[in-house]
Amino acid sequence: MGFTATVGDRRVPCGDDQAVLDAFLRAGVWMPNSCNQGTCGTCKLRVVSGEVDHRDSPADTLTAQERAGGLALACQARLRSDAVVEPTGGAAGRTTHPLRDLTATVLEIADIARDTRRLRLGLPEPLAFDAGQYVELTVPGTDLRRQYSLANTADEDKVLELHVRSVPGGAATEGWIFDGLAAGDRVAVTGPLGDFVLPGEEEDTGAPMVLIGGGTGLAPLLGLVRTALARDRDRQVLLYHGVRGAADLYDLDLIAEIADAHPGFSFVPALSHEAPPAGTAYRAGFPTDLFVDDVASARGWSGWLCGPPAMVEAGVKAFKRRRMAPRLIHREKFTPADATG
């Protein structure tokens, strides 16, 4: 059977065991979303009419009071009747790139930094997405899904590039991507997901941007930076890559090419646990601290943070200290699922 979910004037079918978010996104109807795991609260919606089953919605993200007040997490809730919903934050209902399941082929798997691999996945047909979004890979032989940001720009839609860091004990990394996955293997990919994207071209003011990535949090930032600079080649863009040591840095050639072609772009590799090697322009410290040292005011700028939760939180504080408006701060936190897989 199944039910119908309605937001504004958009109605979509929703299976009995299908999350409301999944139903909307597969139909190409936008609904705010970020973690898709019940932890961020971005997808919180109000159930205007109808019944939902909250399933595994964590009490931290959706309190008992909120449930009683008719709120639900779209990424967890299943419908128990036809329902009318409205998002609590951000707009919903516009047409977006449909969420899809594709079987990709590994074209390349390569070590690019300490405990870090680049994965290039060839798709049987193009996948529409926005730079900064992510996909989920299903770990073979399990129903575990792991999330990896796309390093691509939207026109690179037939070969997806992911940067993967090994997680001790991780089912997807130690048990698969760093142990046995090879060129030619098939990989189940679901995407695109997430809201870590630039504003549409009409709404993009061209104001300066600062982006801070920790470790493989660099991946979506490379897609965002290249997209922003393609829109305005002279835009002021400041990119920080925070890592423990020089061996964790990667894609320095690509970044140098971007810098050569764009005078408004600058890059700061920040080493938190090792002294910068002699003869390099690398800097010592946490990237969020270096940003505060470097920039006196970020009023009117947009800020982009991707990495471990502690780095993202520190970045939000740093941006606010430099007068960035909260609505211009975009964040993508690594979720710890891989460590527990």
Tokens of 37: 């795991």
**Cα–Cα distance list, 6 to 12, 27, 29, 64, 190 (Å):** 6, 12, 10, 24, 23
Which residue in 5, 12, 27, 42 binds ligand FES (CB under 6 A)? 42
By the rule CB under 6 A, 35 interacts with ligand FES: yes
Which residue in 14, 38, 109, 177 binds ligand FES (CB under 6 A)? 38
SS3 314: helix
Q: Specify the residue, 41 or 303, whose C-beta has the smaller distance to ligand FES.
A: 41
Q: Specify the residue, 40 or 154, whose C-beta has the smaller distance to ligand FES.
A: 40
By the rule CB under 6 A, 33 interacts with ligand FES: yes
Q: Which pairs with CB-CB distance under 8 Å and at least 24 residues apart come from 249-253?
A: 249/113, 249/282, 250/112, 250/113, 250/116, 250/118, 250/163, 250/218, 251/112, 251/218, 251/222
By the rule CB under 6 A, 133 interacts with ligand FES: no
Stretch that binds ligand FES, among 35-43, 97-105, 115-123, 271-279 (CB under 6 A): 35-43
By the rule CB under 6 A, 190 interacts with ligand FES: no
By the rule CB under 6 A, 73 interacts with ligand FES: yes
Amino acid at 200: G
Rg (CA), the chain: 20
Helix 218-231 to helix 252-261 angle, to the nearest 10 degrees? Answer: 20
Q: Specify the residue, 41 or 269, whose C-beta has the smaller distance to ligand FES.
A: 41
Which burial class, exposed, middle or buried, applies to 138 when counting CB atoms under 10 A from its CB (0-12, 13-18, 19+)?
A: middle
In the complex, the smallest distance separating the C-beta of residue 39 from ligand FES, rounded to whole angstroms, is 6
By the rule CB under 6 A, 20 interacts with ligand FES: no
By the rule CB under 6 A, 61 interacts with ligand FES: yes
Evaluate whether 196 touches 34 at the Cβ level (below 8 Å).
yes
By the rule CB under 6 A, 99 interacts with ligand FES: no
By the rule CB under 6 A, 215 interacts with ligand FES: no
Q: What is the C-alpha to C-alpha distance for residues 240 and 249, in angstroms, rounded to an integer? A: 11
Q: Specify the residue, 75 or 268, whose C-beta has the smaller distance to ligand FES.
A: 75
Which residue in 24, 41, 152, 262 binds ligand FES (CB under 6 A)? 41
Question: What residues line the site for ligand FES (CB under 6 A)?
Answer: 33-36, 38-43, 61, 73, 75
